């Protein structure tokens, strides 16, 4: 599995001390809160500041397409979330020009999570322009910034696999590791982040040492999760809690309160 590296715009030289690198948790279409948070950060791209969006830009909130367009305006970096992935796959099918049906499975070949035509992600896919699609589709599964010892993913990693052998479905969905060491999106097993932190403290990891810190979203139910080597920043904005930005170098938190946007 390919990892995208980005140290070209955020390196490790001393003149970067004033530049900020923020990771922002799941926005889920909450455009007003996203704009408020960016303003509160006093984000300045031209001065060298950078934002990484930890996935799930879309769904559940009121303006998914607006979030995509705002992210593009900000030149924000991003990783693909599980909801982003569904929208991208649906838009890919729509762009193919093949017929759309009221029911049935979208023909994609063998996938772990087949999508039906009437899946609620279709509404966002149908309202995206080609430019919206290109931005979201180009969010990598894994973004690496080695100068900060940082990996950015949406959900997490399988601590028992090497970086090159991670599975996309795991990266976008994992929550826990089962007793047989298999990753799962279910709750109730051992948190992947707990295993990762133990491995790092024992220097017992299959990942290169320059990727010790993992920044992620996805786990709104856990809230803010700041451990030694893992940093979970999904604080449930779409459920009426907060939208969070974490400055990677200093650990400084910036948060805004959110309205409840979630609808079943």
DSSP 3-state assignment of 256? strand
Q: Domain residues of the chain, as ranges?
A: 4-257
Model confidence at 131, pLDDT cuts 50, 70, 90, reads very high
pTM: 0.93
- For 50-59, the pLDDT digits (tens) are 999 999 999 9
Beta pairing partners, 257: 242
Could you list the beta-strand ranges (E) of the chain. 4-5, 21-24, 50-53, 77-78, 143-145, 150-152, 176-177, 183-184, 190-191, 213-216, 225-226, 230-232, 242-247, 253-257
- For 152-189, the pLDDT digits (tens) are 999 999 999 999 999 999 999 999 999 888 999 988 78
Q: What is the pLDDT of residue 142?
A: 97
Count CB neighbours of 178 within 10 A.
12
Q: Which CATH number fits domain 4-257: 3.40.718.10, 3.90.550.10, 3.60.21.10, 3.40.640.10?
A: 3.60.21.10
């Amino acid at each position: 599995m390919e990892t995208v590296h980005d140290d070209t715009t955020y390196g490790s030289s001393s003149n970067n001390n004033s530049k900020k690198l923020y990771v922002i948790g799941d926005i889920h279409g909450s455009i007003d809160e996203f704009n408020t948070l960016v303003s509160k950060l006093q984000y300045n791209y031209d001065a060298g500041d950078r934002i990484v969006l930890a996935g799930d830009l879309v769904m559940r909130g009121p303006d998914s397409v607006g979030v995509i367009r705002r992210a593009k305006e900000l030149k924000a970096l991003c990783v693909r979330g599980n909801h982003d992935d569904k929208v991208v796959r649906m838009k890919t099918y729509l762009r193919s020009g093949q017929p759309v049906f009221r029911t049935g499975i979208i023909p994609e070949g063998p996938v772990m999570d087949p999508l039906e035509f009437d899946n609620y992600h279709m509404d966002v896919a149908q309202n995206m322009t080609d430019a919206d699609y290109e931005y979201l589709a180009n969010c990598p599964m894994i973004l690496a910034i080695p100068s900060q010892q940082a990996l950015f993913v949406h959900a997490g990693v399988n601590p028992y696999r090497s970086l090159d052998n991670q599975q996309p479905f795991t990266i976008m969905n994992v929550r826990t590791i089962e007793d047989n060491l298999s990753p799962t999106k279910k709750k109730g097993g051992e948190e992947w982040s707990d295993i990762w932190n133990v491995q790092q403290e024992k220097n017992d990891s299959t990942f290169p040492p320059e990727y010790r810190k993992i920044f992620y979203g996805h786990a709104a139910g856990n809230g803010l999760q700041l451990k030694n080597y893992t940093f979970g920043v999904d604080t449930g904005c779409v459920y009426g809690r907060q939208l969070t930005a974490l400055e990677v170098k200093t650990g400084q938190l910036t948060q805004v309160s959110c309205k409840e946007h979630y609808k079943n």
